[in-house]
Structures are given as C-alpha cells and as structure tokens.
A and B are shown apart, each in its own frame.
Chain A
C-alpha cells in the first residue's frame, strides 16, 4: 500500500524559500504522476504542480515563476521549492499521487504539513 509523507519546516520567513519533501513508501516513484497541492481558508484547495515519472513538470501558471518540483528516484522522494514566499503562501501543503495519465485523479495523499510564513 503506497503511503506519502511530507516533511520540511513549518515556519518560513517572508521572502525566503519554502522547501518540502514527500517520501513515497510502498511503491515506486518511477510510475505515476506526483503532485503538490495546498489548502488555505482563503483559496481552498489549489494545485501547485506535478512531476511525471519521466521527470517532466507542469506548474500552476499563477505560481510558475516561483515553483520548482523535482524528483530523487534513488530516495523515492519528490520535492517542492517555492521562492519569495509571502503570508499568502501560508497553507497546509499536501503531496499526492496522480494516475498513470495526467488527467487521472489524486488517489493517494500525504497527511499534509502546515507551513506558516511569518517573521
């Protein structure tokens, strides 16, 4: 049974870089699409972007200039970097598994990690 676990700092200062890692257990990261999604009271659930099993990425246009998603197959992990954060980036961040094709649903989610942007 595939499980996902997010890790990273819970507090990030404004203008700095938010970095999170998602560790995949019980399955290979070399299959499926892998996504980051965040949730805040203001914006609800928001897709940040995804990385495919081939390493290609696709980002939410509203965040594209600040986002990088990468994968480390040797560690079965994928990561999120969001630069120049502001209070508007405060949210619960989830990693999630997509399907074998890009338009499949997110069928496995991490438990989520709260990230607060504050000085």
Chain B
C-alpha cells in the first residue's frame, strides 16, 4: 500500500499570509496526486487534480507542484474562507486511492 504523509499536521497563519503544505508518498506516484479542502461538517471539495490542475471555480491563489514522491499545495494571500483542513490523495494504485492524514489550517 502507498502511504501518504502530510506535513505539518496543523498550521497557524493569518489572513494575507502565504502557506505551503507538503505531501509525501511512500513510493513514486508520478503525477497522480490530488488536493481537497474540507470545512467542518462538509464533504471534501476537490481543489487541484493531477498535481497542478485547478478545478473550475477554484481561486488562483491555490497552486500545486511536485512529482514522484513529494508534492506541495501553496495558498497565497490567505482569505478567511481558506481556513479548513486540506488532504492529499493518490490515485496511482487502485482501489486504494489513499489519502493523507490531513493538515488543519487555523487562524
């Protein structure tokens, strides 16, 4: 099984800050890496597919990079609605599309 490890587990920041969340895979997953945002009591929402492809409607302050085993989600100019939990997910192996443990972004 491919293990996905996110760091940090939690992160404190302020409105207007730029933050980066890292996701590491236990083996190479090429570019089969996606990012989700989850607000309390809500379902995860797909932000970025295949490392760097922003979903329609997702603000351009979100960006993704990486390949192989290390990936980064960067959020610039943090807005109040960005404070949520972020998950990475690999789809290199099926059906175990494993997720990271999450990074909680707090004010």
Interface on A for B, CB 8 Å cutoff? 35, 44-47, 49-50, 58-61, 94, 102-107, 109-112
Given A45-B102, A103-B91: 19 more A-B contacts, CB < 8 Å: A44-B87, A47-B97, A50-B95, A58-B94, A60-B96, A94-B43, A94-B44, A102-B91, A103-B32, A105-B34, A105-B46, A105-B50, A106-B46, A106-B89, A107-B49, A107-B55, A109-B45, A110-B43, A111-B43
Count, chain B residues at interface, CB 8 A: 24
Tell me what chain B mostly uses at the interface: helix, strand, loop, or mixed: loop
Bound Cα distance from A32 to B94, whole angstroms: 15
Given the interface contacts A103-B32, A104-B49, does A45 sit within 8 Å of B87 by beta carbon? yes
A105 touches B95 (CB 8 A): no
Closest Cβ neighbor of A47 among chain B residues: B97
Bound Cα distance from A111 to B45, whole angstroms: 10
Q: Which residues of A contact B94 (CB under 8 A)?
A: 50, 58, 102-103
Interface on B for A, CB 8 Å cutoff? 32, 34, 36, 42-46, 49-50, 55, 87, 89, 91-92, 94-102
CB B7 to nearest CB in A, in angstroms, measures 15
